[in-house]
Amino acid sequence: MHPAIRINSVTKCFGATLALAGIDLEIAQGEFFGLLGPNGAGKTTLISALAGLVRADSGSLAVMGHDVQSAYRSARRLLGVVPQELVFDPFFTVRETLLMQSGYYGIRNNAAWIGEIIEALDLGDKADASMRTLSGGMKRRVLVAQALVHRPPVIVLDEPTAGVDVELRQTLWRFIRRLNGEGHTIVLTTHYLEEAESHCGRIAMLKQGRIVALDTTANLLRQFSVHRLRLRLAAGGELPAALHARAVEEAGCWVLSFADFAEVEVMLAQLREACCPISEINIGQPELEEAFLAVMQRDA
Protein backbone atom coordinates (compact mmCIF):
# COMPACT_ATOMS: atom_id res chain seq x y z
CA MET A 1 0.00 0.00 0.00
CA HIS A 2 1.37 3.41 -0.96
CA PRO A 3 1.80 5.97 1.77
CA ALA A 4 -0.68 8.85 1.59
CA ILE A 5 2.20 11.24 1.16
CA ARG A 6 5.82 10.54 0.32
CA ILE A 7 8.34 13.37 0.24
CA ASN A 8 11.91 12.58 -0.79
CA SER A 9 14.80 15.03 -0.35
CA VAL A 10 12.76 18.04 -1.38
CA THR A 11 14.55 21.37 -1.61
CA LYS A 12 13.22 24.74 -2.65
CA CYS A 13 14.89 28.15 -2.78
CA PHE A 14 13.23 31.51 -3.30
CA GLY A 15 16.13 33.64 -4.45
CA ALA A 16 18.74 33.42 -1.71
CA THR A 17 16.25 32.06 0.82
CA LEU A 18 16.32 28.34 1.39
CA ALA A 19 12.67 27.51 2.08
CA LEU A 20 12.99 23.71 2.10
CA ALA A 21 16.35 22.16 2.87
CA GLY A 22 16.00 18.52 1.96
CA ILE A 23 12.72 17.32 3.46
CA ASP A 24 12.12 13.57 3.79
CA LEU A 25 8.74 12.57 5.11
CA GLU A 26 6.28 9.75 4.79
CA ILE A 27 2.69 9.90 6.03
CA ALA A 28 0.71 6.69 6.11
CA GLN A 29 -2.85 6.40 4.87
CA GLY A 30 -5.40 7.17 7.56
CA GLU A 31 -3.03 9.21 9.72
CA PHE A 32 -3.94 12.49 11.40
CA PHE A 33 -0.63 14.24 10.98
CA GLY A 34 0.55 17.59 12.29
CA LEU A 35 3.05 19.84 10.56
CA LEU A 36 4.20 22.45 13.03
CA GLY A 37 6.74 25.22 12.96
CA PRO A 38 7.17 28.93 13.45
CA ASN A 39 6.30 31.41 10.70
CA GLY A 40 8.68 30.98 7.77
CA ALA A 41 9.62 27.42 8.73
CA GLY A 42 8.51 26.11 5.33
CA LYS A 43 5.16 24.51 6.16
CA THR A 44 3.14 26.34 3.52
CA THR A 45 5.91 25.94 0.94
CA LEU A 46 5.91 22.20 1.57
CA ILE A 47 2.13 22.04 1.24
CA SER A 48 2.28 24.17 -1.90
CA ALA A 49 4.88 21.84 -3.41
CA LEU A 50 2.61 18.92 -2.63
CA ALA A 51 -0.33 20.70 -4.27
CA GLY A 52 1.69 21.69 -7.35
CA LEU A 53 1.52 25.41 -6.59
CA VAL A 54 5.26 25.49 -6.01
CA ARG A 55 7.79 23.47 -7.99
CA ALA A 56 10.51 21.85 -5.92
CA ASP A 57 14.09 22.53 -7.04
CA SER A 58 15.01 18.92 -6.35
CA GLY A 59 13.53 15.80 -4.81
CA SER A 60 10.11 14.31 -5.38
CA LEU A 61 6.67 14.37 -3.83
CA ALA A 62 3.89 11.84 -4.29
CA VAL A 63 0.27 11.58 -3.18
CA MET A 64 -0.94 7.99 -2.80
CA GLY A 65 1.96 6.92 -5.03
CA HIS A 66 1.31 9.50 -7.76
CA ASP A 67 4.13 11.93 -8.41
CA VAL A 68 2.88 15.51 -8.15
CA GLN A 69 4.76 16.55 -11.30
CA SER A 70 4.78 13.61 -13.70
CA ALA A 71 1.32 12.34 -12.65
CA TYR A 72 -0.10 15.64 -11.47
CA ARG A 73 -3.66 14.98 -12.62
CA SER A 74 -3.98 11.81 -10.54
CA ALA A 75 -2.14 13.37 -7.59
CA ARG A 76 -4.42 16.41 -7.54
CA ARG A 77 -7.57 14.30 -7.72
CA LEU A 78 -6.43 12.56 -4.55
CA LEU A 79 -5.56 15.72 -2.65
CA GLY A 80 -7.78 18.36 -1.07
CA VAL A 81 -6.10 21.52 0.20
CA VAL A 82 -7.60 24.17 2.43
CA PRO A 83 -5.42 27.23 1.75
CA GLN A 84 -4.25 29.43 4.56
CA GLU A 85 -5.36 32.68 2.92
CA LEU A 86 -9.04 33.56 3.11
CA VAL A 87 -9.60 33.66 -0.64
CA PHE A 88 -12.91 33.53 -2.49
CA ASP A 89 -14.49 34.39 -5.82
CA PRO A 90 -16.88 37.29 -5.26
CA PHE A 91 -18.97 36.58 -8.35
CA PHE A 92 -20.64 33.41 -7.11
CA THR A 93 -22.85 31.99 -4.39
CA VAL A 94 -21.68 29.30 -1.99
CA ARG A 95 -23.47 26.55 -3.90
CA GLU A 96 -22.18 27.77 -7.27
CA THR A 97 -18.67 27.90 -5.85
CA LEU A 98 -18.89 24.31 -4.66
CA LEU A 99 -20.52 23.00 -7.83
CA MET A 100 -17.83 24.63 -9.94
CA GLN A 101 -15.04 23.35 -7.74
CA SER A 102 -16.53 19.88 -8.11
CA GLY A 103 -16.63 20.33 -11.89
CA TYR A 104 -12.96 21.35 -12.00
CA TYR A 105 -12.20 17.90 -10.61
CA GLY A 106 -14.28 16.33 -13.35
CA ILE A 107 -17.23 15.45 -11.13
CA ARG A 108 -20.75 16.16 -12.30
CA ASN A 109 -24.00 15.36 -10.49
CA ASN A 110 -22.32 15.93 -7.14
CA ALA A 111 -25.22 17.77 -5.53
CA ALA A 112 -25.87 15.12 -2.86
CA TRP A 113 -22.33 15.17 -1.49
CA ILE A 114 -22.18 18.97 -1.74
CA GLY A 115 -25.44 19.14 0.20
CA GLU A 116 -23.94 16.89 2.85
CA ILE A 117 -20.84 19.07 3.16
CA ILE A 118 -22.99 22.18 3.37
CA GLU A 119 -24.99 20.65 6.21
CA ALA A 120 -21.96 19.26 8.02
CA LEU A 121 -20.25 22.65 7.99
CA ASP A 122 -23.43 24.53 8.96
CA LEU A 123 -23.53 26.43 5.68
CA GLY A 124 -27.17 25.59 4.96
CA ASP A 125 -28.51 29.11 5.62
CA LYS A 126 -25.88 30.66 3.39
CA ALA A 127 -25.88 28.16 0.53
CA ASP A 128 -27.43 30.61 -1.91
CA ALA A 129 -25.77 33.74 -0.56
CA SER A 130 -23.09 35.53 -2.52
CA MET A 131 -19.58 34.77 -1.29
CA ARG A 132 -18.87 38.45 -0.82
CA THR A 133 -21.64 38.79 1.78
CA LEU A 134 -20.25 36.08 4.07
CA SER A 135 -18.38 36.69 7.31
CA GLY A 136 -14.77 35.59 7.64
CA GLY A 137 -15.77 32.46 9.51
CA MET A 138 -18.30 31.49 6.88
CA LYS A 139 -15.78 32.04 4.11
CA ARG A 140 -13.39 29.76 5.98
CA ARG A 141 -16.08 27.07 6.05
CA VAL A 142 -16.52 27.38 2.30
CA LEU A 143 -12.77 27.00 1.84
CA VAL A 144 -12.93 23.75 3.77
CA ALA A 145 -15.94 22.63 1.75
CA GLN A 146 -14.15 23.42 -1.53
CA ALA A 147 -11.27 21.16 -0.52
CA LEU A 148 -13.69 18.30 0.12
CA VAL A 149 -16.00 18.43 -2.90
CA HIS A 150 -14.10 15.70 -4.73
CA ARG A 151 -13.86 13.42 -1.66
CA PRO A 152 -10.06 13.40 -1.62
CA PRO A 153 -8.47 10.59 0.41
CA VAL A 154 -5.76 13.05 1.53
CA ILE A 155 -6.81 16.36 3.04
CA VAL A 156 -4.37 19.13 3.89
CA LEU A 157 -5.55 21.86 6.22
CA ASP A 158 -3.23 24.86 6.28
CA GLU A 159 -4.15 26.74 9.45
CA PRO A 160 -7.88 26.08 9.02
CA THR A 161 -8.93 27.71 12.28
CA ALA A 162 -6.87 30.89 12.08
CA GLY A 163 -9.04 33.72 13.34
CA VAL A 164 -12.30 31.81 13.56
CA ASP A 165 -14.74 31.45 16.42
CA VAL A 166 -15.17 28.55 18.80
CA GLU A 167 -18.35 27.33 17.15
CA LEU A 168 -16.68 26.91 13.76
CA ARG A 169 -13.71 25.20 15.33
CA GLN A 170 -15.95 22.67 16.99
CA THR A 171 -18.01 22.14 13.83
CA LEU A 172 -14.90 21.82 11.73
CA TRP A 173 -13.07 19.42 14.03
CA ARG A 174 -16.16 17.25 14.41
CA PHE A 175 -16.37 16.91 10.62
CA ILE A 176 -12.64 16.40 10.11
CA ARG A 177 -12.53 13.74 12.85
CA ARG A 178 -15.40 12.01 11.10
CA LEU A 179 -13.55 12.05 7.79
CA ASN A 180 -10.41 10.76 9.47
CA GLY A 181 -12.50 8.01 11.06
CA GLU A 182 -13.74 7.08 7.58
CA GLY A 183 -10.14 6.61 6.43
CA HIS A 184 -9.17 10.02 5.05
CA THR A 185 -5.61 11.06 5.78
CA ILE A 186 -5.45 14.47 7.42
CA VAL A 187 -2.43 16.75 7.40
CA LEU A 188 -2.78 19.78 9.62
CA THR A 189 -0.66 22.86 10.06
CA THR A 190 -1.64 25.16 12.86
CA HIS A 191 -0.25 27.61 15.35
CA TYR A 192 -2.89 26.45 17.86
CA LEU A 193 -0.78 23.71 19.37
CA GLU A 194 -3.55 22.43 21.63
CA GLU A 195 -5.46 21.53 18.45
CA ALA A 196 -2.51 19.61 17.06
CA GLU A 197 -2.04 17.91 20.43
CA SER A 198 -5.62 16.76 20.70
CA HIS A 199 -6.06 15.61 17.07
CA CYS A 200 -2.71 14.54 15.64
CA GLY A 201 -1.31 11.09 16.18
CA ARG A 202 2.06 12.07 14.77
CA ILE A 203 3.78 15.40 14.39
CA ALA A 204 6.69 16.84 12.41
CA MET A 205 8.24 20.09 13.54
CA LEU A 206 9.89 22.26 10.93
CA LYS A 207 12.43 24.96 11.40
CA GLN A 208 14.20 26.90 8.65
CA GLY A 209 13.12 24.38 6.04
CA ARG A 210 14.25 21.29 7.99
CA ILE A 211 12.39 18.71 10.01
CA VAL A 212 13.83 19.04 13.50
CA ALA A 213 11.48 16.60 15.25
CA LEU A 214 9.30 13.79 13.97
CA ASP A 215 7.50 11.40 16.24
CA THR A 216 4.17 10.42 17.71
CA THR A 217 2.52 13.16 19.71
CA ALA A 218 2.82 11.02 22.87
CA ASN A 219 6.55 10.49 22.37
CA LEU A 220 7.19 14.16 21.72
CA LEU A 221 5.34 15.08 24.89
CA ARG A 222 7.24 12.44 26.83
CA GLN A 223 10.55 13.50 25.41
CA PHE A 224 10.28 17.25 25.46
CA SER A 225 7.70 18.07 28.09
CA VAL A 226 7.14 17.33 31.77
CA HIS A 227 4.22 16.83 34.16
CA ARG A 228 3.65 19.48 36.77
CA LEU A 229 2.52 19.31 40.36
CA ARG A 230 0.96 22.62 41.26
CA LEU A 231 0.70 23.45 44.98
CA ARG A 232 -0.87 26.33 46.80
CA LEU A 233 0.42 26.35 50.38
CA ALA A 234 -1.83 27.33 53.26
CA ALA A 235 -0.98 30.43 55.29
CA GLY A 236 2.34 30.01 57.09
CA GLY A 237 3.37 27.07 54.92
CA GLU A 238 6.88 26.99 53.55
CA LEU A 239 8.14 24.77 50.75
CA PRO A 240 10.78 22.30 52.01
CA ALA A 241 14.30 23.20 50.87
CA ALA A 242 14.67 19.78 49.23
CA LEU A 243 11.98 20.71 46.68
CA HIS A 244 13.29 24.15 45.78
CA ALA A 245 15.55 22.78 43.07
CA ARG A 246 12.62 21.66 40.95
CA ALA A 247 10.12 24.34 41.98
CA VAL A 248 9.12 27.55 40.26
CA GLU A 249 6.78 30.09 41.81
CA GLU A 250 3.91 31.13 39.57
CA ALA A 251 1.02 33.36 40.65
CA GLY A 252 1.19 32.42 44.31
CA CYS A 253 1.64 28.70 43.63
CA TRP A 254 4.63 26.44 43.55
CA VAL A 255 5.01 24.43 40.35
CA LEU A 256 7.13 21.29 40.63
CA SER A 257 8.19 19.48 37.46
CA PHE A 258 8.47 15.71 37.21
CA ALA A 259 8.85 13.14 34.46
CA ASP A 260 7.59 10.04 36.27
CA PHE A 261 4.54 9.70 38.51
CA ALA A 262 6.65 7.78 41.05
CA GLU A 263 8.27 11.12 41.83
CA VAL A 264 4.94 12.51 43.03
CA GLU A 265 4.88 10.21 46.01
CA VAL A 266 8.43 11.27 46.92
CA MET A 267 7.50 14.96 46.70
CA LEU A 268 4.35 14.47 48.77
CA ALA A 269 6.35 12.55 51.39
CA GLN A 270 8.80 15.46 51.65
CA LEU A 271 5.90 17.85 52.12
CA ARG A 272 4.39 15.66 54.85
CA GLU A 273 7.73 15.34 56.59
CA ALA A 274 8.11 19.12 56.64
CA CYS A 275 4.51 19.42 57.95
CA CYS A 276 3.82 21.78 55.08
CA PRO A 277 0.10 22.71 54.97
CA ILE A 278 -1.40 22.57 51.47
CA SER A 279 -4.59 24.41 50.47
CA GLU A 280 -4.76 23.36 46.84
CA ILE A 281 -3.09 20.72 44.72
CA ASN A 282 -3.40 19.60 41.11
CA ILE A 283 -1.35 17.78 38.49
CA GLY A 284 -0.96 19.31 35.04
CA GLN A 285 -0.46 17.31 31.87
CA PRO A 286 2.53 17.88 29.59
CA GLU A 287 1.74 20.38 26.85
CA LEU A 288 2.74 20.34 23.22
CA GLU A 289 3.53 24.03 23.39
CA GLU A 290 6.27 23.25 25.86
CA ALA A 291 7.61 20.43 23.70
CA PHE A 292 7.47 22.72 20.67
CA LEU A 293 9.44 25.45 22.42
CA ALA A 294 11.95 22.92 23.72
CA VAL A 295 12.53 21.56 20.21
CA MET A 296 12.84 25.02 18.69
CA GLN A 297 15.27 26.16 21.37
CA ARG A 298 17.27 22.93 21.14
CA ASP A 299 17.83 23.55 17.46
CA ALA A 300 18.44 27.27 17.78
Partner 1 sequence: MTGFRTLLYKEVLRFWKVSFQTIAAPVLTALLYLLIFSHVLEDHVQVYDSIGYAAFLVPGLVMMSILQNAFANSSSSLIQSKVTGNIVFVLLTPITYAEFWLAYVLAAVVRGMVVGFGVLAVTLFWDTPLLVAPLWIVVFALLGGAILGTLGIIAGVWADKYDQLAAFQNFIIVPLTFLSGVFYSIHSLPPFWQSLSHWNPVFYMIDGFRYGFFGISDVSPWLSLLVAGASFAVLAGLTLAMLKSGYKLRS
Tell which one of 57, 92, 113, 232 touches partner 1 (CB under 8 A). 92
Q: How far is the CB of 166 from partner 1 (least distance, A)?
A: 26
Tell which one of 9, 58, 103, 136 touches partner 1 (CB under 8 A). 103
* Total residues interacting with partner 1, rule: CB under 8 A: 33
Task: Output 143 or 226, the one with its CB closest to partner 1.
Answer: 143
Q: Report the site for partner 1 in 29-48 (rule: CB under 8 A).
A: 48
Q: Which stretch binds partner 1 (CB under 8 A): 74-82, 191-199, 217-225, 234-242?
A: 74-82
Q: How far is the CB of 178 from partner 1 (least distance, A)?
A: 23
Q: How far is the CB of 103 from partner 1 (least distance, A)?
A: 3
Tell which one of 90, 183, 236, 252 touches partner 1 (CB under 8 A). 90
Q: How far is the CB of 76 from partner 1 (least distance, A)?
A: 5
Q: How far is the CB of 194 from partner 1 (least distance, A)?
A: 28
DSSP string, the chain: ---SEEEEEEEEEETTEEEEEEEEEEE-TT-EEEEE--TTSSHHHHHHHHHTSS--SEEEEEETTEETTTTHHHHHHTEEEE-SS----TTSBHHHHHHHHHHHTT--S-HHHHHHHHHHTT-GGGTTSBGGGS-HHHHHHHHHHHHHTT--SEEEEESTTTT--HHHHHHHHHHHHHHHHTT-EEEEE-S-HHHHHHH-SEEEEEETTEEEEEEEHHHHHHHH--EEEEEEEPTT----GGGGGGEEEETTEEEEEESSTHHHHHHHHHHHHTT--EEEEEEEPP-HHHHHHHHHHHT-
Q: Which stretch binds partner 1 (CB under 8 A): 101-109, 121-129, 202-210, 249-257?
A: 101-109
Q: Which stretch binds partner 1 (CB under 8 A): 105-113, 120-128, 197-205, 285-293?
A: 105-113
Q: Report the site for partner 1 in 136-175 (rule: CB under 8 A).
A: 146
Task: Output 145 or 200, the one with its CB closest to partner 1.
Answer: 145
Distance (Å, rounded) from C-alpha 145 to C-alpha 117? 6
Burial of 109 (0-12, 13-18, 19+ CB in 10 A): exposed
Tell which one of 28, 107, 293, 296 touches partner 1 (CB under 8 A). 107
Q: How far is the CB of 3 from partner 1 (least distance, A)?
A: 21
Q: Which residues would be at the binding site for partner 1 (CB under 8 A)?
A: 14, 48, 51-55, 72-74, 76-77, 79, 81, 83, 85, 87-92, 96, 100-108, 146
